[in-house]
Structure 1
Amino acid sequence: MGMTRRDFMLRSAMGAGVALLSGCKTPLISEPRLMNPCATHLPPELAGHPLVMQAWEGLNPDLVWDAHVHLAGIGDSDSGIEVSRRMMSPVFPAQYVQRLFYMNAGCVHKADDSVDLSYVARIHNLMKYMPEGFRVMLFAFDRTYTPQGEPRPDATALYVPNQYARDVARTLTGRAEWVCSVHPYREDAIEALEWAQAEGARAVKWLPPAMGIDPSSPRCADFYDALVRLRLPLITHVGEELAVVGAGRPVWGNPLKLRPALDRGVTVVMAHCASIGEDIDLDKGEDGPRVESFSLFRRLMQESHYHGILYGDISAVTQRNRPDEVMQELLEREEWQDRLLFGSDYPLPGVLPLTSPVLLARSGLLDPEAVHTITELRRYNPILFDFVLKRHLSSRGQQFSKQVFETRRVFDSALQAAG
């Protein structure tokens, strides 16, 4: 059968966009394909493979929550999702390519007029092959706002309403939690937080460079106090941002800009552990030297007064644009193991070129004998793929501990109270 025009455009866009999205320079050697095949029925021989069984050994699935899962769509239902016109039009190729990536990763690239519903249906399918008790934490995503609290539709790449995230989580009874997203500059920010907490939100999601949030701004002080009062952790991007353009203020992804939140007692989860990019060392002033973002994350993790409230999630750290040295340090730091949290960053594990088990094996981080099976898992279930891959990573004999994957303790206030 010949390739359709839609497939040709998608393949071309993905081929051109791999470098754009990930900064990858090495050959695409993981698989002989660029497009996610979106298989739906995990074969029993894969589901019961020893590598998969070993990945679950010693873990209580009831405590394993994937702490970084994105909801997406184009607003072709009553979801209320909004997507920037730049992401919908090939006139703006960079952002258009990003959307095509995400659509294929979420297996909705052929959904025509039912993208929103198909994206959720895919998550339902993936959960069928995870043990009972395992849950995904589904992210809402707020609009970009001005410092005066006015929405900026021109700079909003994606909007996923809190109500929609809540409702989708409820359709996945016992398999999902939801994470609200509230911009701190909104006039109703505190009210929106209180509503979300009452409706069962487990945390708050920010992407400061894209959403137009300066985490060090005094405008955030009351918001931070509300987070502490409501016992809502803040999951926030740190380091370089490649996936969403939005307001485009990279400086706001600096890990040090979260000191005000930490100093007010907010539980902060630094997404991706600042595993890529450079930032100004603000501890040496606004004109301080530029250093690796990960070194600033490391500095904060080493400050004893942040123990118990500062965490890093390991979503995206296996992507090919992350230095091997970062992965090695995350694996080998025994004192961090109870402060690192499993997250898949779904749908990105479904972007085939971004994560290469072959290259991880060549770097000594993965047993070469595991490459084929783990790669096959991704064809059917990118979340299971990401989980099994991270359970089998090792550096100098050290692996991520069970505490990294039993993330519920950080987001379930009832467990926190019992502890």
Structure 2
Amino acid sequence: MSKPVHLHAGRRRALCCGAAALTGLFTNLATASETPVDPVGRVPRSEPAVPVWPTAIADLLHATFDGIDPAALWDVHTHLLGNGDSGSGCTIHTSMTEGWHPIERLRRATIMNAAGVPGDALAGGSVDRAYVERLRRLAAGFPPGARWLLFAFDRAVDGSGHDRPEWTTFHVPDRYAQQVAASTPDRFGWVASIHPLRHDALERLDQALRQGALAVKWLPSAMAIDLRDRRLAPFYDQLARSRTPLIVHGGEEKAVPGAQRHDYGNPLLVRAPLEAGVRVIMAHCASLGEALDLDQRRPSRRPAFELFARLMDEPAWRGHLLGDVSALFQVNRRADVWKTVLTRSDWHPRLLHGSDYPLPGVDLLYSTSRLVQEGLLDLADVAPLERLRRHNPLLFDLALKRRVAWRGERLSPLVFDTRWHFTTAAPGIA
């Protein structure tokens, strides 16, 4: 089927180049009052100042938004986290706070630091509110129209449909994701997370869609979801009928161990929902780790990205399989992954921008110097990118994706024209 007309319009127009359209880019994300007034963190706003950017950063920001329609720029991979201290219902595994689990405590501290959650929040203030307010302030640095899809995250469930809290690294209820999105609808949408083996899974899905959920997110290895389980067929049918995308993590998972069913992260398993007519967005393009090549008579381990690429090239899935580019240019990805994604322009209409926030704020996950060494980034871009990152990691993530190139090939503006993928009237991709 043909693409909608407005998909191509983003390629033809150079939007946001004027000073008026770029006003939002030069917003100083000044700290707003932390006075809590409700469970989803609405706080009084302070009037921001307008900083004077060095020419190199101003030029970088203009180039970043050149040719992009801000109203179509939806970040499709944004994590919402909390500990429930505002009544949100969020939880984190006890191992992330107990002294005898130093690695898990470090994991929590690293994530919260990346999200800009202040130490006093961790010590007794509201983590929930601090997390949301920081995200709001970062979003305010973008032109009007740009939005972030906030992920709920369901608990792990066993084969009998019962919660397994000991397998659940963190939990973000659908209700909370919906409330946060509703509190700032011009900036946020939300994505439901419903384990399909729950006894009331179909009812939960129907309720989420009625409340405006734009997609459903699963992390199979952490949540203990075998995509091939025949009991998932009714859930797939409901997703297909409603044209609701299913965002599925593929490949190795390091940040959320959960149930540790790493075999469930095999990209080839998404053939099950694809065969049921579901539109599937493979998170991170399955760009990390290895998985068994189940197409072989004697399966051997292959890079997960190679298996994702195989699926992308299978004609049967061209109208239903997509990938998001969140986390793709982190230092733990291989250079051949970067080069493939940049040069496969035939994939670009099926690739979607996502930040994997708050991970762009984790210093060790990004190395602009390595991108320079691999020939994907100009040395002159490093200093303005790094300064931009200190100011706003979400702007840094977007600017980096627009600057990286291999042999003159960059990510198409189509990668950043993501809104239409989440409209119920969106046709398949030819």
TM-score for the superposition, normalised by structure 2? 0.86
Q: Which residues of 2 match residues 2-401 of structure 1 at below 5 A?
A: 43-45=51-53, 49-110=58-119, 111=121, 112=123, 113-285=125-297, 287-401=298-412
Q: Tell me how large the CA RMSD over aligned residues is.
A: 1.7
Is residue 39–residue 379 contact of structure 1 (8 Å, CA) maintained in 2? no
**Aligned AA for 2:411?**
F
* Cα shift readout 1:394-413 (whole Å, capped 9, x = no counterpart): 00100000110111111122
Q: For 1:415 and 1:322, locate their aligned partners in 2 and report how far apart those are by CA, in whole Å.
A: 32
Note closer, same or farther for the CA distance 1:415–1:132 as it changes in structure 2 (3 Å cut).
farther
**Aligned AA for 2:69?**
N
Q: For 1:64 and 1:355, locate their aligned partners in 2 and report how far apart those are by CA, in whole Å.
A: 23
Is residue 39–residue 380 contact of structure 1 (8 Å, CA) maintained in 2? no
Deviation at 1:94, TM superposition (A): 2.1
SS across alignment from 2:156: coil
* Cα shift readout 1:107-145 (whole Å, capped 9, x = no counterpart): 114123211000000011011110100000000000000
SS across alignment from 2:53: helix
* Cα shift readout 1:305-355 (whole Å, capped 9, x = no counterpart): 101210010101111110011000000001101011100000000001111
**Aligned AA for 1:298?**
A
Q: For 2:200 and 2:246, locate their aligned partners in 1 and report how far apart those are by CA, in whole Å.
A: 18
Deviation at 1:46, TM superposition (A): 6.1
Note closer, same or farther for the CA distance 1:271–1:174 as it changes in structure 2 (3 Å cut).
same
Is residue 66–residue 344 contact of structure 1 (8 Å, CA) maintained in 2? yes
Which residue of structure 1 lines up, in the alignment, with residue 36 of structure 2?
none
Q: What stretches of structure 2 of length at least 5 have no aligned partner? A: 1-28, 32-47
**Aligned AA for 1:188?**
D
Is residue 194–residue 230 contact of structure 1 (8 Å, CA) maintained in 2? no
Which residue of structure 1 lines up, in the alignment, with residue 38 of structure 2?
none
Q: For 1:403 and 1:102, locate their aligned partners in 2 and report how far apart those are by CA, in whole Å.
A: 30
Note closer, same or farther for the CA distance 1:46–1:163 as it changes in structure 2 (3 Å cut).
farther
**Aligned AA for 2:308?**
F
Identity %: 46
Q: For 1:46 and 1:224, locate their aligned partners in 2 and report how far apart those are by CA, in whole Å.
A: 51
* Cα shift readout 1:274-307 (whole Å, capped 9, x = no counterpart): 111110011125x511111111001000001101
Is residue 118–residue 130 contact of structure 2 (8 Å, CA) maintained in 1? no
Is residue 242–residue 424 contact of structure 2 (8 Å, CA) maintained in 1? no
Whichever structure has more helix as a proportion of its residues is 1
Q: 2:422 aligns with which of 404, 411, 418?
A: 411
Note closer, same or farther for the CA distance 1:46–1:342 as it changes in structure 2 (3 Å cut).
farther
Note closer, same or farther for the CA distance 1:39–1:87 as it changes in structure 2 (3 Å cut).
farther
Q: For 2:118 and 2:258, locate their aligned partners in 1 and report how far apart those are by CA, in whole Å.
A: 22
Deviation at 1:43, TM superposition (A): 3.4
Q: Stretches of 4+ moved more than 6 A in 1?
A: none
Number of aligned residue pairs: 380
Q: What stretches of structure 1 of length at least 5 have no aligned partner? A: 1-37
Deviation at 1:416, TM superposition (A): 4.7
Deviation at 1:44, TM superposition (A): 3.7
Deviation at 1:229, TM superposition (A): 1.3
Is residue 82–residue 158 contact of structure 1 (8 Å, CA) maintained in 2? yes
SS across alignment from 1:222: helix
Is residue 82–residue 160 contact of structure 1 (8 Å, CA) maintained in 2? yes
Q: For 2:426 and 2:264, locate their aligned partners in 1 and report how far apart those are by CA, in whole Å.
A: 32
TM-score for the superposition, normalised by structure 1? 0.88
Deviation at 1:358, TM superposition (A): 1.7
**Aligned AA for 1:410?**
H
